[in-house]
Amino acid sequence: MNSAEKAGNGDYVNRFRPSQAEIDRRYSNVRAAMEAHGLDALIVSGSEYSGFEGAIRYLAGFHLLHRYAYVVITPDADPVAIFPKEATWVGDHSATFLERELPVHCGEWMADFLKRKGARKVGVYGLEYIINVRDYKALAAADFELVDFDIPFDYARAQKSEEEIASVRHSMEINKQGVLDVIKAYSAGKTEAELMGVAENTFVRLGCARNTMDMVQMGPNGSLLPQMVFPSNRPLQDSDGMMYGLEVSGEGGHWVEYSRPMMPNGMDAITQDMMDAQQEFHALVRDNMKAGRTAQEVHKVCMQPFVDRGYRSGHVCGHSIGMTMIEMPRIGEGFDFVLPENMVCSMHPHVMNEERTHSLYFQETYRVTADGGEPLSGTAISAYDGTESELKPLNAIEPP
């Protein structure tokens, strides 16, 4: 394996580039998972589709600019990064800390390579969503037992190192700045898209490149509709409810999720009741997201304020997050994964009433500790009216 100290982009050095000790830690954890599941080899897939590039960055240091890539791991040989030949000059390949191959057909190359290694049982990370269909067909045509390895791989990387936590905190500072800049830029008559452009300008300026996943929820008269949509050129009004859902990864490649709603004229009664429930939920996360608890235990305890009020959940209340935007486990029913200390989770209950006329959504990223969930933004679960010049600190709002 090549030294992790080599820099890409000429003389530029990424300050969050992993140390050799960190690289070794990652591969040790992944190989332990491979051994536990009896794998002869593991293929890790990444795609330029936003949020799904992270496994390649995690294992190879390469930030996908376009197309797709793989890392092939066997028990007793150096891992290899595989890129399609047409992508030879797409992205900074000198940033990769693995040996590289650039074949015309990645799937055929990997099949031949694994046959020469005598591999039979081959795990694939990305089998459900990510792997290129052409490459999968070549692997499926070979005489391998292909095993879906999405969950075991994510479990192997769930516990973050101190190096990773530093990268996570850096990403959160960028995300917070984008949210604050949107709040400060608000005025009636600006369009939904114009405000999103403010956030995107901040994110690109602070080094996120294209690693952003942005959406909005809008609604009339101090409420939010359940749908998450692209921002439009509709002019905003003070009577609107608006929630800019902003998710980014910074220079180190670790994703975070952070958003707060804006209600210039305040909330209606139903939305206020949802706000009370959201504040209770996040207080419970702070108290109960402890190392040693299972994901489903945390889910059951923390969702109770919404259950008590009869609200419905639009999707899972949270999930592990890292260099891939959505990692397993989900914080939800059926996941008995025991949370380790320094695991990082995005918690984002998307709740609505039975009539689907009202919704309220928050995003906050937490670090699992021995005592509970640490909200990495350090800010309150609160709405804004667009006149604020700074974010509200955590102790500014107490649960009812």
* Residue-by-residue DSSP string for 101-138: E--S-HHHHHHHHHHHTT--EEEEETTTTTS-HHHHHH
Contact, 210 vs 50, CB < 8 A?
yes
Helix (H, G, I), strand (E, B) or coil at 229: strand
Closest C-alpha among 368, 148, 174, 181 to residue 262: 181
What is residue 12's predicted lDDT score, i.e. its pLDDT?
62
What is residue 50's predicted lDDT score, i.e. its pLDDT?
81
Mean pLDDT per 10-residue segment, the chain (400 residues): 44 82 98 98 94 95 94 95 95 92 97 97 95 96 96 98 98 98 98 98 96 95 96 97 96 97 97 97 98 98 97 92 96 96 97 96 96 98 97 72
AA letter at 210? R
What is residue 49's predicted lDDT score, i.e. its pLDDT?
85
What is residue 249's predicted lDDT score, i.e. its pLDDT?
97
Closest C-alpha among 285, 309, 305, 307 to residue 297: 285
Classify residue 112 by burial, with Cβ atoms within 10 Å: 0-12, 13-18, 19+. Answer: middle
Enter the pTM of the model. 0.92
Closest C-alpha among 221, 282, 275, 209 to residue 248: 209
* Residue matched to tokens 């707060």: 260
What residues pair up with 375 in beta bridges, in sequence order? 366
Helix (H, G, I), strand (E, B) or coil at 8: coil
Contact, 312 vs 351, CB < 8 A?
yes
Which alpha helices (H) appear in the chain, and where do they start and end? 20-36, 54-60, 106-116, 133-141, 150-156, 162-185, 192-205, 269-288, 295-302, 304-309
What is residue 390's predicted lDDT score, i.e. its pLDDT?
98
Would you state the structure tokens that stand for residue 52, as one six-digit string? 């799904």
Closest C-alpha among 37, 109, 18, 29 to residue 72: 109
What is residue 2's predicted lDDT score, i.e. its pLDDT?
38
AA letter at 122? V
The number of helix segments (H) and strand segments (E) in the chain equals 10, 18
Closest C-alpha among 275, 320, 267, 274 to residue 298: 320
| Upstream peptide bond of 231 is cis (omega within 30 degrees of 0) | no
d(CA 400, CA 395) in angstroms, rounded, equals 13
Domains, the chain: 20-156 (3.40.350.10), 162-396 (3.90.230.10)
Q: Residues of 353-383 as b/e, b for ≥16 C-beta within 10 angstroms?
A: beeeebbbbbbbbbbbbeebbbbbbebbbbb
What is residue 252's predicted lDDT score, i.e. its pLDDT?
96
* Residue matched to tokens 């109960």: 288
